[in-house]
C-alpha cells in the first residue's frame, strides 16, 4: 500500500487533475475533502468527505480521520485558515503541500526567486480572507505554516494556470476579443510573464508529495512569453488582427495586463530533480485547441 493522501479542494481544475493522477495509478489511497455542494466523479478508488474549510472543528475531524502521509491543501486563503490547519494536523500529517501563488511577490526588476519573499521572517498577522487581499492572504498563509507548523511543509508558488479546463477563462478572454474585433487593454505588451498548465501543476504537486524539498518553491513552465507574443499567437491561430490599447474600459482590460515583467525562477525545484515543460511548446497548441473547440 502506498502513501495515504488527503486533498483539500479537489473538485475542479488542477486539484481535480491531481486526484485523477493519483487515483489512476491505483497505488495510493486518496481522500478528497470538499464542501460537498456537488457530486464529483473520479476515475479509480477515491473517497470523498465533506469539509467546511472555514470551520476549525470540521477541519479537525478530517485531520483526525488520518493520520495522513501527504496532505495537499488547495483551498487555504487566510492566516486564520492556515493556523487552524497547523493546529488540526499536528500529529496527523507526515508532509503538507499548500498551494500558494506568484502573487506573494512584488514586481521586481529580475526573475523572481523564492528568497524574494521570506515567510520565515515576515510579520505574522491574523485575519480572514474577507479582510485581506488575495496576495497578502497568501503571504500570511505561508507565514503561518513556515513559522508555526511542526510538520514538514512545502508552499508551492505558481503563476497563472492555463488549460482547456480553466474556469476563469483568462486565455479564452483574449481569443474571444480578437475573434470579435474588440479592443484589449494591455498596459505593456513587452512585459514578460510566467505560466503553467493545469496538468503540470498536478504533476508537480504529485512530485512534491514525495520529494524532500521544503519551504517555498516556485513551479512554472520553462521560459516566459510577453503579452504581445501571446496576442500574435492568437492572431496566427484565428487569422484575425488584434486590437490593443494601453487603456480601455475595465471589462476589456487584459487579465495578463501587468505593468512590468513578472517571471519566476524555478532553479530550486529543478535542482531537486523536477523538469518543467517549455511554455513555447504548449501555449501555441493550447491556443489552437481553444480556437478549434469554439
pLDDT at position 45, please?
76
pLDDT at position 64, please?
95
E strand spans, 102-251: 153-158, 160-162, 183-185, 192-193, 195-197, 215-218, 225-226, 243-245
Q: What is the per-residue DSSP string for 223-240? A: S-EEHHHHHHHHHHHHT-
User: For the chain, what are the domain ranges?
Assistant: 5-160+196-218, 163-195+222-263+278-293
pLDDT at position 100, please?
98
Residue 110, Cβ neighbours under 10 Å: how many? 9
Reported as a single tens digit per residue, the pLDDT across 147-191 is: 999 999 999 999 999 998 888 899 999 999 999 999 999 999 999
What CA–CA distances, in Å, run from 240 to 113, 164, 207, 232? Answer: 37, 21, 40, 10
Low-confidence stretches of the chain (pLDDT beneath 70): 1-2, 10, 12, 26-28, 37-40, 43-44, 294
pTM of the model: 0.93
pLDDT at position 252, please?
96
Alpha-carbon span 200 to 276, nearest angstrom: 8
How many residues are listed for the chain in this entry?
Answer: 294
> Architecture of 163-195+222-263+278-293 per CATH?
Alpha-Beta Complex (3.90)
pLDDT at position 39, please?
66
Strand 160-162 and strand 96-101: pairing? unpaired
CATH, domain range 5-160+196-218:
3.40.50.720
pLDDT at position 176, please?
96
Alpha-carbon span 140 to 80, nearest angstrom: 9
Amino acid at each position: 500500500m502506498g502513501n495515504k493522501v488527503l486533498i483539500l479542494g479537489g473538485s475542479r481544475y488542477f486539484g481535480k487533475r491531481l486526484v485523477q493522477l493519483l487515483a489512476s495509478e491505483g497505488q495510493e489511497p486518496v481522500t478528497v475533502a470538499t464542501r460537498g455542494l456537488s457530486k464529483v466523479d473520479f476515475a479509480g478508488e477515491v473517497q470523498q468527505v465533506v469539509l467546511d474549510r472555514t470551520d476549525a472543528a470540521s477541519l479537525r475531524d478530517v485531520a483526525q480521520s488520518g493520520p495522513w502521509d501527504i496532505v495537499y491543501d488547495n483551498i487555504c486563503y487566510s492566516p486564520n485558515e492556515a493556523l487552524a490547519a497547523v493546529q488540526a494536523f499536528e500529529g496527523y500529517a507526515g508532509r503538507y503541500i499548500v498551494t500558494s501563488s506568484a502573487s506573494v511577490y512584488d514586481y521586481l526588476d529580475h526573475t523572481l526567486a523564492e528568497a524574494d519573499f521570506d515567510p520565515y521572517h515576515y510579520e505574522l498577522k491574523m485575519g480572514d480572507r474577507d479582510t485581506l487581499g488575495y496576495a497578502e492572504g497568501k503571504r500570511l498563509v505561508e507565514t503561518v505554516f513556515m513559522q508555526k507548523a511542526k510538520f514538514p511543509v512545502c508552499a508551492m508558488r505558481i503563476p497563472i494556470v492555463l488549460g482547456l479546463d480553466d474556469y476563469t477563462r483568462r486565455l479564452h478572454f483574449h481569443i474571444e476579443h480578437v475573434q470579435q474585433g474588440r479592443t484589449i487593454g494591455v498596459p505593456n505588451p513587452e512585459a514578460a510573464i510566467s505560466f503553467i498548465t493545469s496538468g503540470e501543476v498536478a504533476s508537480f504537486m504529485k512530485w512534491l508529495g514525495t520529494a524532500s524539498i521544503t519551504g517555498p518553491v516556485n513551479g512554472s513552465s520553462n521560459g516566459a512569453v510577453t503579452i504581445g507574443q501571446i496576442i500574435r499567437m492568437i492572431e496566427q491561430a484565428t487569422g484575425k488582427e488584434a486590437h490593443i490599447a494601453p487603456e480601455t474600459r475595465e471589462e476589456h482590460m487584459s487579465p495578463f495586463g501587468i505593468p512590468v515583467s513578472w517571471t519566476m525562477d524555478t532553479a530550486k525545484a529543478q535542482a531537486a530533480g523536477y523538469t518543467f515543460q517549455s511554455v513555447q511548446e504548449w501555449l501555441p497548441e493550447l491556443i489552437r485547441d481553444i480556437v478549434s473547440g469554439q
